[in-house]
């Protein structure tokens, strides 16, 4: 099951705020929001090519035959991006955001896994397994198994630590956009509400999913009503978000239908449906991050 992305908007919003001489120590202040945006940037970078590459190593061996591994250079570039984002985050962060050690652990685990992967890539590219009868390949597989376990644990710990802070900051931002409940309110509010379902899903709280979906349903309807009222005036960038939200709702229904029929996550179809929910949510996050930029240049308004 895929991990979920985190929002980058906090950094974008805070970047335009003039910093005071003394750092704001609150978890919802400008400094904390800027730092969380940077932590999110680093976290999301680790979830892109590095995590995909680590998972791809194991799928490359499915079905037998000669494995074909992907060049790790793109993942190494993402490691650099995460390293720089985390360093900037630690500089910006007030004491209320003690995320540095967990970010360092996640980065170190990712670097360790990609280092092993790079060795495996060279080994199989050179077809060295034909020379040593696969002896080094077995060692590399054992190292990759351990490295993946370490990375999954570290990235989950960082994500969990970010969740609580991010939620508090999201609520703070939503409150600032309640007047008129226009575009800025809806993409903030709906993403925050949808996250409850995704968090329950990724934590394996299967029994809670129908209840969480039921609580989300009125917000599904309210978002649809907002879009319908805008009609032809609907902002094009926001339309992309609304479409992603609709896709998310469809994926949730598909997953609940399977679970209601007695399917479990051991079933391939159910696992794919769960990934579909997370993929749709991640698309909402990505579009939401873009909407903060559109909003920042005063273009998040009616056509």
So what's the pLDDT on residue 84? 96
Q: Which of 24-38, 95-109, 147-161, 191-205 comes out lowest in average pLDDT?
A: 24-38
pLDDT above 90: residue 202: no
So what's the pLDDT on residue 266? 85
So what's the pLDDT on residue 3? 63
So what's the pLDDT on residue 30? 83
What is the mean pLDDT of the segment spanning 87-101? 90
CA distances from 261 to 136, 204, 217, 272 (A): 45, 18, 21, 16
Using CA atoms in the order 280, 285, 289, 290, what is the torsion angle rounded to 10 degrees? 10
Query: Domains of the chain: which residue ranges?
Result: 1-176, 179-303
Q: Which phi and psi angles does 87 have, rounded to 5°?
A: -65, -45
CA distance 130 to 122: 13
Averaged confidence pLDDT in the chain: 89
What is the mean pLDDT of the segment spanning 22-44? 84
Q: Which of 31-40, 100-109, 223-232 comes out lowest in average pLDDT?
A: 31-40
pLDDT above 70: residue 15: no
Question: What's the predicted TM-score (pTM) here?
Answer: 0.79
- Structure-model confidence comparison of residues 19 and 131, the more confident one: 131
User: By CB neighbour count within 10 A (0-12 exposed, 13-18 middle, 19+ buried), where does 109 fall?
Assistant: buried
Q: Which helix (H) or strand (E) holds 91?
A: helix 73-92
Tokens linked to 132 = 């040593």
Highest mean pLDDT among 29-38, 115-124, 195-204: 115-124
Which residues have a Cβ under 8 Å from the Cβ of 22 and sit 6 or more positions away?
A: none
Q: How would residue 33 be classed by pLDDT, with cut points 50, 70 and 90?
A: confident
Q: Which tens digits make up the pLDDT trace of 213-269?
A: 999 999 999 999 999 999 999 999 999 999 999 999 999 999 999 999 999 988 889
Which has the closest alpha carbon to 17: 28, 6, 7?
Answer: 28
Which residues have a Cβ under 8 Å from the Cβ of 185 and sit 6 or more positions away?
A: 174, 177, 178
E strand spans, the chain = none
- Structure-model confidence comparison of residues 44 and 221, the more confident one: 221
CB 114 within 8 A of CB 79: yes
């Amino acid at each position: 099951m895929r991990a979920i992305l985190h929002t980058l908007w906090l950094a974008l919003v805070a970047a335009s705020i003039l910093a005071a001489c003394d750092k704001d120590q609150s978890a919802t202040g400008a400094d904390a929001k800027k730092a969380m945006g940077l932590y999110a940037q680093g976290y999301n970078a680790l979830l892109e090519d590095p995590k995909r590459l680590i998972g791809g190593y194991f799928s490359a061996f499915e079905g037998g035959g000669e494995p074909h591994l992907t060049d790790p250079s793109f993942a190494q570039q993402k490691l650099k991006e995460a390293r720089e984002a985390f360093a900037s985050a630690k500089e910006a962060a007030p004491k209320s955001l003690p995320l540095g050690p967990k970010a360092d652990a996640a980065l170190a685990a990712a670097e360790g896994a990609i280092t092993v992967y790079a060795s495996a890539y060279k080994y199989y590219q050179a077809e060295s397994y034909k020379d040593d009868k696969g002896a080094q390949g077995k060692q590399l597989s054992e190292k990759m198994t351990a490295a993946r376990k370490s990375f999954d644990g570290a990235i989950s710990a960082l994500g969990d630590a970010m969740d609580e802070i991010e939620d508090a900051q999201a609520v703070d931002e939503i409150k600032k956009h309640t007047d008129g409940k226009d575009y800025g309110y809806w993409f903030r509010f709906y993403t925050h509400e949808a996250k409850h379902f995704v968090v329950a899903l990724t934590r394996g709280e299967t029994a809670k999913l129908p209840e969480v979906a039921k609580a989300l349903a009125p917000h599904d309807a309210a978002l649809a009503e907002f879009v319908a009222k805008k009609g032809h005036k609907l902002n094009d960038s926001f339309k992309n978000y609304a479409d992603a939200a609709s896709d998310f709702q469809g994926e949730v229904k598909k997953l609940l239908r399977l679970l209601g029929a007695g399917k479990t996550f051991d079933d391939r179809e159910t696992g794919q449906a769960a990934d579909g929910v997370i993929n749709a949510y991640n698309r909402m996050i990505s579009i939401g991050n873009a909407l903060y930029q559109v909003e920042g240049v005063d273009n998040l308004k009616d056509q």
